[in-house]
Amino acid sequence: MVRVGLFDSLRRKRRPGTLRGPSQGDTRHLGEWADSRRGVEAYVEPKTTVTDTTVVLVAHDGEWTRRRIGSLDAAQQFGRKRGIPVYEVTKVGYPRRMREYTQRQKRAQG
């Protein structure tokens, strides 16, 4: 018989303070998302103390998604493979259409 404590399922599986890197699921999501939309651009967000390097993909209409990517080099390689321009968000900021899309979604929800 194995004894299981009441809160065992809530305990973290990794050490506190460690970041989860990008997974195959993250990469698959980004690829499928980019392949199913027009005018996609990639905006790389730098690694912070809380999150690993992430990339925000933004479509022509402002729809967007964010996932971990691992590094700026990995994002650039992802972009080259798909013919997507890659920008560093700290240098160029987010595109206006992304903010406008988010505002439209908030208004539509209530």
pLDDT digits (tens, 9 = 90+) for 68-78: 999 999 999 99
Closest CA to 71 of 26, 13, 4: 26
Looking at residue 7, its pLDDT comes to 57
Per residue in 34-73, is it b (16+ CB within 10 Å) or e — as a string? beebeebbbbbbebeeeebbbbbbbbeebbbbbbbbbebe
Q: What is the pLDDT of residues 31-59, one digit of tens each?
A: 999 999 999 999 999 999 888 999 999 99
**Rounded to two decimals, what is the model's pTM?**
0.80
Token pair of 50, please?
Answer: 């809380």
29 band by pLDDT with thresholds 50, 70 and 90: very high
Token pair of 37, please?
Answer: 């939309």
Percent of residues, the chain, with pLDDT higher than 70 = 81
Q: How far apart are CA 20 and CA 60, in angstroms?
A: 30
